[in-house]
Amino acid sequence: MKTSTLSTRTTFCWPVVLPSLALVLVLLLFSMLAPSQAEYIFNSSKSWITAYFSWFYTLAVAAFVILLIGIAISRYGNIRLGPDDAEPEFRFSSWIAMLFAAGMGVGLMYFGVGEPIQHLIAPPTAVVGTPSAAREAMLMTFFHWGIHAWAIYGVVGLVLAYFGFRYNSTTDSALGALPHFKRSD
């Protein structure tokens, strides 16, 4: 009779998880024990970041777009996301349709009206209820749902797909950080 042994190998990486977990717990406890102070600090932090670092966010998102275009037109755009002899399971047009239906379909059905209205009633820079506020609301919505957002998703997806399919690695969110930590496998 053959007995199977359970593997103790895991992708759980303590140096990645513990600092994040500690930070989340500290913020959670602070928010529960001092809600008004937490609200003031979080709102002040958000206002400060928006005032002084919104340029960085816009620049970083533009860099993601440029990075993906650069990868696509360079020799790296021809790297297979799987073994060298792998054939695509779906045609390109089918893949695009599935991507659009899963990502955009769900998001637009839920946020298609809600996000522009949210930006209209609380515009970041325009006066509430003006045509300027309506334009700003639509611009922000297009920015959040346009090529820029997809570029961010694309970079994360490429990292996960490359290591997951090319090297049969796990596809957890810490995958991009794993090379920076010593593994004891």
- Cβ(38)–Cβ(31) below 8 Å: yes
CA 80, distance to chain mean position in Å, is: 23
Cβ atoms of 104 and 145 within 8 Å: the answer is yes
Task: Please determine, for residue 44, whether its predicted confidence score (pLDDT) is greater than 80.
Answer: yes
Residues 98 and 136: beta-carbon distance below 8 Å: no
pLDDT over 90 (residue 34): yes
Q: What is the pLDDT of residue 15?
A: 84
Percent of the chain with pLDDT over 90: 38
Contact 182, 17 (CB under 8 A): no
What pLDDT shows up at residue 147?
86
Q: Does the pLDDT of residue 182 top 60, yes or no?
A: no
d(CA 162, CA 169): 9
CA–CA gap between residue 181 and residue 9 (Å, rounded): 16
Question: What mean pLDDT, rounded, does the chain reach?
Answer: 83
For the cut 90, the answer to whether the pLDDT of residue 68 exceeds it is yes
Distance CA 143, CA 9 (A): 42
* Segment 84-122, tens digit of pLDDT: 888 888 898 998 888 777 776 767 777 778 888 999 999
Percentage of the chain lying above the pLDDT 70 cut: 83
| SS3 state at 126 | coil
